[in-house]
Amino acid sequence: MPTIIGIAHCDNYNPENVGRAIRSAVEPLGGIASFVRPGQRVLLKPNLVLARRAEEAANTHPRFVIEVARLVREARGEPVIGDSPALGSARYVASRCGLLELAQRSNLPLVEFRATRKMDSPRGAAGRLLRLACEALDADVVINLPKLKAHGQMLLSLAIKNLFGCVRGRRKALLHLVLGSRPIQFARMVVGVCQAVRPALTLMDGIVAHERTGPTGGDPRRLGLVVAGADCAAMDRVICEILGADPERLLTLVAAREAGFGESDPDRIQVIANSKTVGPPLSALAPWLAGQPFVLPERVSGLSFSPWRVVRGLVRQVWALVGPAKQQKL
């Protein structure tokens, strides 16, 4: 049986449109009840990378997260939002992008990833540095909510890469430092994180994507995509097909194939797009961009972080937490 990936079209972040598209994308997978049972604690893991406005398309759009939470509640699950940005707190980033206000209105908890547990890294890479958030490891269900983005160091940030957010903020910089000169080892480590967290479902926000570079500083690009799947590798392979990206350049996908994690063979993936079956093969997905190529990074710059950059990042992280509080007192 082929691995199923659901796709729905959505032009904007109007709540009704987003909710309808998410339901349509999940329907070929059996609906939300296939993933969430009554009473289960469900961690929604968005991409909260940095304090940016929603319009800049650097983070998973707030409305997308809220509509997924609404769907989880319809299945009588108990949703909670959680992430650990590289700089600042999840609460601060959520406040800047508009998610915190919407979550509070919806009585939806937002948790910081604080407690961690040591995990073995594939092939010994990163050693004792790899510790993952207990909130992710202990949730009854994890729903992965990545933003479809170009990435200046990894080519693309998609379903697999989004789970790297389950590593606490500053430890991400240390892992970049240790594995910066070995990008395939870094990719193997990220795949190991995804394997440990075991997201039951991934729902990707590609309504307005992020092209040219990333994870921040690129350009918003309206794609109108909502993508759903239980297999992160299959989802990333489908996105490569849609964007015209060489899957061999996406090292997280290469590492997943090496590890036998998920399905990356396009001949074993079937897409249900707007209720119509596509593939295999997946070549029929190519017209989705309507002749306007998605702008990928001109070159992938590598993963190296100098020690000075790590120290500077830690200082910026402290200021991101302390600075807003000081300003509020003035």
How far apart are alpha carbons 113 and 301 in whole angstroms?
Answer: 29
Q: How far apart are CA 161 and CA 191, in angstroms?
A: 8
The pLDDT score that the predictor gives to residue 320 is 46
Residue 311: what pLDDT? 52
**Exposed e or buried b per residue across 71-86, where buried means at least 16 C-beta atoms within 10 angstroms of its C-beta:** bbbebebbbbbbbbbb
* Secondary structure percentages of the chain, helix, strand, coil, to 5: 45, 20, 35
Give the pLDDT score at 298.
84
Q: What is the pLDDT of residue 130?
A: 79
pLDDT at res. 327:
39
Give, for 170, the enclosing helix (H) or strand (E): helix 169-179
Which is nearest to 176 in space by CA: 314, 318, 315? Answer: 314
Say how far apart CA 102 and CA 114 lie, in whole Å. 23
Q: How many domains does the chain have?
A: 1
Instruction: Count, in order, helices (H) and strands (E) of the chain.
Output: 11, 13
8, 17 Cβ separation under 8 angstroms: no
From first to last of its 330 residues, the chain has per-residue pLDDT tens of 899 999 999 999 999 999 999 999 999 999 999 999 999 999 999 999 999 999 999 999 999 999 999 999 999 999 999 999 877 899 999 999 999 999 999 999 999 999 999 876 554 445 556 789 999 999 999 999 999 999 988 899 999 999 999 998 677 767 767 776 678 888 998 999 999 999 999 999 999 999 999 888 899 999 999 999 999 999 999 999 999 999 999 999 999 999 999 999 999 999 999 888 887 778 778 667 767 899 999 877 655 544 544 455 455 445 544 544 443 443
Residue 312, domain extent:
3-329
Residue 298 CB neighbours (<10 A): 9
Close Cβ partners of 267 (under 8 Å, ≥ 6 residues apart): 280, 281
Residue 263 amino acid letter = E
* pTM beyond 0.85: yes
Alpha-carbon gap, residue 130 to 188, rounded angstroms = 12
pLDDT of residue 301: 67
Would you state the pLDDT for residue 129? 63
